[in-house]
Amino acid sequence: MMLARVADSLYWIGRYVERAEHHSRLCDVMLTAALDQNLAAVSVARRAISAFVDAEDSLGREVSFAAAHTLVLDRGNRGSVVASLSRARENARQVRDQITTETWERLNLLYLRVISASAERAFARGPATFLQSIIADLHLFKGAVDATMSHGQGWRFLLLGVYLERAQLIARLLTVCFGDQSAKTPLEDHMTQVSVLRMACALEPYLRVYTAEIHTRNLLEFLLFDEEFPHSVRFSIKRMEDHLTTLAQPGAADRSRPERLAARLSGRLEFADMDETLGPGALLSTVAQECSAIHDAVYETFISYPLEQRLPA
Amino acid sequence: MGKTAKIKAVGASTVAPFYPHEDAYDDMFAADGRLRAHYAQLHGRMSTLSAGELADRQRALEQSFLLQGITFTVYGGGEATERIIPTDLFPRIIPAAEWAHIDAGLTQRLRALNCFLADIYGDQKILTDGVVPRELILSAPSYRREMAGIYVPHDAYVNVSGADLIRGEDGGFFVLEDNLRVPSGVSYMLANRDAAKRTFPEIFGSARVRPVERYPDLLLASLKSMAPEWRPEPQVVVLTPGIYNSAYYEHAYLARLMGVPLVEGRDLVVHDNMAYMRTTTGLRVVDVIYRRVDDDFIDPLTFRRDSGLGAAGLFNVYRAGNVVIANAPGTGVADDKAVYAYVPDIIHYFLGEDPILPNVKTFLCRNPVELDHVLANLDKFVVKAVGASGGFGMLVGPHASAVEREVFAARLKADPANYVAQPTIHLSTAPCLVEGQIEPRHVDLRPFLLAGAEITVVPGALTRVALRRGSLVVNSSQGGGSKDTWVLSESETAP
């Protein structure tokens, strides 16, 4: 038994922590590329964050630093890491009774760290160290979720949020980097491809499968269809399907929607062909649309359902 | 004054006290400077730790509170900030005999007050007999006419309370307030205990301190005992106003430790005179609501119309006996500051017993003779507004300037019925760590009581501390702090 409001909060904790982690990684990669003075890589990273920050089109280091600062520490920016962590923590506070102390303390500690005055100093002194420690702390948080929370409904709603957000973020990353290759320069530069892989947390796992010969086709295949890599779109959708199937009530026909949508998308990714990934109406935009349809269906089924349908027998 | 309340200083060693004796009773040192026996161990530890070690322990303590999120929210300056309630390192120690006296006195008081509530919302015999003036009760804003004639199981109108006790100059305890409207602070009692065990593990182990950790399951048992017999597995919930309430941490804490849902008004739905909560799998029946929302906000159809914190129609469900609200609406009238003056009479009337714990002498300003006496001696009195709480709207005569007293006297004359006056009592002191020094600070004592089928006083308390030197105001909203309170078990006197 779980309150609808609680499920809602847990789901959003998952989404916000995933978003905070992804954005930290984008900034880290962008700043490293700026340090290397690799303009193509900076440009692709800048494109990846363009949806969340207005940055000048200049590729200088100062501009990159300012853009990263906005995306990490600017509380006025809705997409910033500090805003995401504040919201995740606010949601966690609302369901403090539903999550374990270990889980809460990891998130609370991280929140206190990013809002403290010393965060600005730490970011200015060494942004890479700062961002990597945030990412490491978020991994600790997720570890605490898995290791200390009961793997029941609450845990599933939290992870549903994580994987839905991840599938959307990776799909969006691939769309901005490869979606309209006609307009931008094709990403054949090795360092740029490495940057994309790093932004998806995929460099080392990719190398183990395909070695250091990086091809865009392999890269797309890996991030979209790999069955075992936890940041691939297919993996994320498959996890969502698992969680939704378990959360669904057997025999309730009207509630079959979110898990049906997830299973359909999951099946599509399982049997998809590399050649249909790009261009209009292609798989990437289907993934984005279906993810938002799943989100709506989750709300209709579990959270904001009409009361007259749900009176106890 | 209670006979058992005096603590003999036998077996006390002569050590140099940490600070010179002041007017007030001190928990650790007797007036002649001798150390009280039950503080010997703690004193030993306090003397051996260096200032640096004490500061380290204090810092570790504050860190653990911040980390756990045991904070209250302060609004102002455009942004809400979360602060921890200052917590003092040193526990306060209460010997077994003294506690037995407190336990008996508080139990007696709560029994009488529940009888009183059942009577004023029932036959009103005590009013008819003229023991308590009828118009005092019926005109009180906290009197809820809607409660008249409603059945309350075990006559337990008050299920959760936390009285404020203070020590007089000779060490005896008085009841200052009864706090029958679900007072907060119990989570601090539990968190302080948790912290104290880590701060002074050496002495905690051998001091035979009675446990407070059972509070959550005793609370759950009390709440369940209020449910009707035909609901063998009652669904209990905690109703909170939400995260913006300053006691939100406590609401979440209690729900978590009882293992019951923490609900907000928007989670509750009333349908066909039954109360439900919205879950992911549909609506579920709710049987007992431990509400941490004021009477006014429980049900917009019955009480305040602009309330979004309760559920529309909930009071009707309550009236029909389909849900239990704990504490019952309307209990506030029995801890009205004017009604307080009558509690000794209420105990006599319903139980035929003498009060075990005395009241502080209280002058009712509604009474012209008493008003004149108060006005003539304003510099000796603490004057309180009847309806106010949290240390607001009061005048501490001896600490006020002549101008402040004059302004207050005018308010008093304009609306005498709204005020009561009590002689200034020098709250007792206990040793505290203040800026690296061990100094005496004024304290009070808030033990917590539970009532359902029976009454339980949990052996422990929140000791509130006035952290400013000489201050007598212990409320957390006005710069008060807290410390852990160790109630020793019987056998502690055995050789």
Categorise residue B69: left if φ over 0, alpha if ψ from -120 to 50, beta otherwise: left
User: With an 8 Å Cβ cutoff, are A5 and B264 in contact?
Assistant: yes
Partners of B269 in the β-ladder = B276
**Is residue B251 located within the same domain as residue B315?**
yes
Is the bond into B327 cis (omega within 30 degrees of 0)?
A: yes
User: With an 8 Å Cβ cutoff, are A3 and B267 in contact?
Assistant: yes
Rounded to two decimals, the pTM is 0.84
User: With an 8 Å Cβ cutoff, are B283 and A90 in contact?
Assistant: no
> Are residues A45 and A36 in contact, defined by beta-carbon separation less than 8 angstroms?
no
Tell me if residue B159 falls in helix, strand or coil.
coil
In sequence order, what E strands does B398-468 have?
A: 419-423, 429-434, 437-451, 455-466
Residues of A in contact with B266 (CB under 8 A): 5
Give B181 to chain A, closest Cα distance, Å: 23
User: With an 8 Å Cβ cutoff, are B255 and A6 in contact?
Assistant: no
DSSP annotation of B320 reads T
User: With an 8 Å Cβ cutoff, are A96 and B69 in contact?
Assistant: yes
- The residue among A1, A167, A139, A20 whose CA lies nearest residue A89 is A20
Q: Which tens digit of pLDDT belongs to each residue from B267-301?
A: 999 999 999 999 998 899 999 999 999 888 888 88
Residue B492: per-residue pLDDT: 46
Residue B137: per-residue pLDDT: 93
pLDDT surpasses 80 at B132 = yes
Residues of B in contact with A247 (CB under 8 A): 280
DSSP annotation of B477 reads G
Please tell me which of the candidates A4, A309, A312 has its beta carbon nearest to residue B280.
A4
> Are residues B484 and B65 in contact, defined by beta-carbon separation less than 8 angstroms?
no
Please tell me which of the candidates A7, A108, A312 has its beta carbon nearest to residue B67.
A108
Please tell me which of the candidates B249, B280, B282 has its beta carbon nearest to residue A312.
B282
User: With an 8 Å Cβ cutoff, are B276 and A108 in contact?
Assistant: no
Residue A250: per-residue pLDDT: 62
Any idea what the Cα angle at residue B392 is, between residues B389 and B395, rounded to 5°?
A: 120
Buried b vs exposed e over B422-449: b needs ≥16 C-beta within 10 Å? Answer: beebbbbbbbbbbeeebebbbbbbbbbb
- Residues 217-276 of chain B with CB under 8 A from chain A are 242-243, 248-249, 252-253, 255-256, 261-264, 266-267, 269, 271, 276
Residues of B in contact with A302 (CB under 8 A): 280
One-letter amino acid of A235: F
| CA distances for B103 relative to A14, B250, B443, B461, B488, angstroms | 47, 24, 19, 11, 13
Residues of A in contact with B263 (CB under 8 A): 3
Nearest residue of B to residue A255, measured between CA atoms? B281
pLDDT surpasses 90 at B474 = no
B290 in reach of chain A (CB within 8 A): no
**Is residue B313 located within the same domain as residue B368?**
no
Which residues are CB-neighbours of A178 under 8 A, at least 6 positions away? A187, A216, A220, A278
Q: Is B141 a domain residue?
A: no
Residue B80: per-residue pLDDT: 60
Residues of chain A with pLDDT under 70: 54-59, 180-187, 249-256, 276-281, 313
Q: What is the mean pLDDT of chain B?
A: 87
Q: Which two tokens stand for residue B484?
A: 């852990």
The total of other beta-carbon atoms located within 10 Å of residue B494's CB is: 6
Tell me if residue B173 falls in helix, strand or coil.
strand
| Cα A88 off chain centre by | 14
> Are residues A218 and A197 in contact, defined by beta-carbon separation less than 8 angstroms?
no
Q: Which tens digit of pLDDT belongs to each residue from A48-81?
A: 888 777 666 666 778 888 889 999 999 888 889 9
> Are residues A22 and A163 in contact, defined by beta-carbon separation less than 8 angstroms?
no
Residue A281: per-residue pLDDT: 45
> Are residues B424 and B446 in contact, defined by beta-carbon separation less than 8 angstroms?
no
Residue B426: per-residue pLDDT: 79
Residue B380: per-residue pLDDT: 86
Q: What is the dihedral of CA B56, B60, B62, B63, to 10 degrees?
A: 130
- Of residues B349 and B370, the one with the higher pLDDT is B349
Task: Count the residues in chain A.
Answer: 313
Helices (H), B93-140: 96-120, 125-128, 134-138
Residue B11: per-residue pLDDT: 45
Range with the poorest average pLDDT among A298-312, B151-165, B193-207, B312-326: A298-312
Of B377, B406, B423, which closes a domain? B423
Q: Is B243 a domain residue?
A: yes
Residue with tokens 């005018």: B410
pLDDT surpasses 90 at B63 = no
Mutate to test the interface with A, among B240, B281, B284, B292 (most CBs of A within 10 A): B281
ipTM rounded to 2 decimals? 0.80
Number of Cβ pairs closer than 8 Å across A and B?
Answer: 78
> Are residues A227 and A237 in contact, defined by beta-carbon separation less than 8 angstroms?
no
Rounded to whole angstroms, the Cα distance separating B425 from B402 reads 20
DSSP annotation of A3 reads B
**How many domains does chain B contain in total?**
2
Provide the CB-side half-sphere exposure for A184 (13 A, CA).
Answer: 16
**Is residue B316 located within the same domain as residue B371?**
no
Over range B261-265, report the average pLDDT: 94
User: With an 8 Å Cβ cutoff, are A3 and B248 in contact?
Assistant: no
Tell me if residue B85 falls in helix, strand or coil.
coil
Of B293, B320, B347, which closes a domain? B320
Over range B383-411, report the average pLDDT: 80
Please tell me which of the candidates B256, B277, B284 has its beta carbon nearest to residue A97.
B256
B438 in reach of chain A (CB within 8 A): no
Give me the CATH number covering residue B405. 3.30.1490.270
Residues of A in contact with B68 (CB under 8 A): 101, 105, 108
Q: Is B265 a domain residue?
A: yes
Tell me if residue B40 falls in helix, strand or coil.
helix
Give B81 to chain A, closest Cα distance, Å: 12
Q: Is B66 a domain residue?
A: no
**C-beta pairs of A175-179 under 8 Å, 24+ apart in sequence:** A175/A284, A175/A285, A175/A288, A176/A47, A176/A48, A176/A50, A176/A51, A177/A44, A177/A47, A177/A48, A178/A216, A178/A220, A178/A278, A179/A278, A179/A284
Range with the poorest average pLDDT among A197-211, B47-61, B220-234: B47-61
**Is residue B253 located within the same domain as residue B313?**
yes
Q: With bands split at pLDDT 50, 70 and 90, how would you rate the model's confidence at B495? A: very low
Residue B9: per-residue pLDDT: 43
Q: What is the dihedral of CA B123, B129, B130, B133, to 10 degrees?
A: 0
Q: Is B89 a domain residue?
A: no
One-letter amino acid of B383: V
pLDDT surpasses 80 at B462 = yes
Rounded to whole angstroms, the Cα distance separating B210 from B487 reads 6
Q: Is B93 a domain residue?
A: no
Please tell me which of the candidates A4, A104, A311 has its beta carbon nearest to residue B279.
A4
- Of residues B123 and A212, the one with the higher pLDDT is B123
Rounded to whole angstroms, the Cα distance separating B335 from B394 reads 17
Please tell me which of the candidates B242, B262, B266 has its beta carbon nearest to residue A97.
B262
Residue B2: per-residue pLDDT: 41
User: With an 8 Å Cβ cutoff, are B278 and A5 in contact?
Assistant: yes
- The residue among A88, A114, A87 whose CA lies nearest residue A24 is A114
Of B423, B444, B459, which closes a domain? B423
User: With an 8 Å Cβ cutoff, are A94 and B243 in contact?
Assistant: yes
Rounded to whole angstroms, the Cα distance separating A303 from A298 reads 7
Q: Which two tokens stand for residue B118?
A: 């059942």
Residue B494: per-residue pLDDT: 43
| CA distances for A67 relative to A27, A37, A270, angstroms | 8, 16, 37
Nearest residue of A to residue B253, measured between CA atoms? A97
Candidate ranges A58-72, B45-59, B340-354; pick with highest mean pLDDT? B340-354
Q: Is B249 a domain residue?
A: yes
Over range B424-428, report the average pLDDT: 84
pLDDT surpasses 90 at B352 = yes
Rounded to whole angstroms, the Cα distance separating B139 from B135 reads 6
- Domain holding B311, by residue range, is 229-320
Give A108 to chain B, closest Cα distance, Å: 7
Burial class from Cβ neighbours inside 10 Å (0-12, 13-18, 19+) for residue A218 reads middle
Residue with tokens 């990776």: A170
- The residue among B296, B292, B223, B293 whose CA lies nearest residue B258 is B223
Over range B156-163, report the average pLDDT: 95
**Is residue B299 located within the same domain as residue B377?**
no
How do strand B262-263 and strand B236-239 relate by DSSP bridges? parallel
Give me the CATH number covering residue B272. 3.40.50.11290
Give A15 to chain B, closest Cα distance, Å: 19
Buried b vs exposed e over B178-189: b needs ≥16 C-beta within 10 Å? Answer: bbbbbbbbbbbb
Residue B14: per-residue pLDDT: 59
Rounded to whole angstroms, the Cα distance separating B218 from B447 reads 14
One-letter amino acid of B412: L
SS (H, E, C) A232-293: CHHHHHHHHHHHHHHHCCCCCHHHCHHHHHHHHHHHHHHCCCHHHCCCCCCHHHHHHHHHHH
